[in-house]
Amino acid sequence: MQNDFILDEAALEKLNRFTRKPVTAQEVYTFPVVLCDNEIDRDGERFSLPALKKLAELFVGKTGIFDHDPRGEKQTARIFDCEVREEPGRLTLCGEPYTYVFAKAYMMRTDSNRDLITEIEGGIKKEVSVSCSVGRRTCCICGSDRTEHPCGHIKGRRYDGRLCCDILDGPGDAYEWSFVAVPAQTSAGVTKHFSELPLDEDAAELRRRLDDALAAGGKACDMLRREIISLSFLTRPIMAVEAVKTLTGRMTFDELAALRDRLRKQMLSSREADASELFEARPDTGAANSSFKI
């Protein structure tokens, strides 16, 4: 991965858009930063390609801090240029070309940050984390928005050979980026920022219950899908299996249940219509209209 750059006149001009007065190349220290990528991270999430392109725009001018501490004295650097790059020949776990947001950052050379510059050059301060907002967290298996319609698919599990993850899309804003110790996006050497305070016993129990509920919801959805496929053979017109799988693959539990109920009613109506046609087709022998008297 080629992440070096030269602070030429064009780059220095971009940098000076963020200074109060023009600075020279000798007054600043510049370094490359890989902010985020489209690989599945430790949280079972990945950015979409449109999201990366939007983040590359949003992060220009954003400040770099430490451990997402918003205090002003924690400001260390600023991004003055950003772009999306693709690494030739490298694929993600989802089979996409590995793509990442490459940023150029700068800081003023001062006595107070001399040690920090040395640590960056020595590879000690390396991993960074981005803090941003996203509009959607979409399940890559069924396409449901996790925020509005939890689907029951479990991140990290495989469904028909596909690894389940959430796709982060629709970035609304980029807040800051931070030097951190432990990255989540290991392929890019960066991480996203989420609150990771230690869980107390009650919170841990709630998380276990939530995981169990999501797993049960996934099994319930699978059962509904199998029932819908069976019902599709008993309705008129008969629905193709592949069409049913495609239709139900993106449905939530409530949508699946509603479709199942509609197919059940359609099946009963079909049976009633068949019985009515059979009765009307029987020959009139006269016995059918005779009455019995006791």
pLDDT tens, residue by residue, 236-290: 666 666 777 777 776 777 888 888 888 888 777 766 665 565 555 555 554 444 4
Question: Is residue 226 packed enough to be buried (19+ CB in 10 Å), middle (13-18) or exposed (0-12)?
Answer: exposed
**What is the pLDDT averaged over residues 45-64?**
95
> Would you say how long the chain is, in residues?
294
What per-residue confidence (pLDDT) applies to 287?
45
Largest CA distance in the chain: 117
In the numeric block, which tokens belong to residue 208?
């276990």
pLDDT band at 165 (very low <50, low <70, confident <90, very high): very high
pTM above 0.95, yes or no: no
Give the H or E element holding residue 244: helix 241-248
Of 26-30, 157-161, 217-221, the range with the lowest mean pLDDT is 217-221
Is residue 227 over pLDDT 70?
Answer: yes
Q: What φ, ψ does residue 39 adopt, rounded to 5°? A: -85, 150
Cβ pair 224, 260 in contact under 8 A:
yes
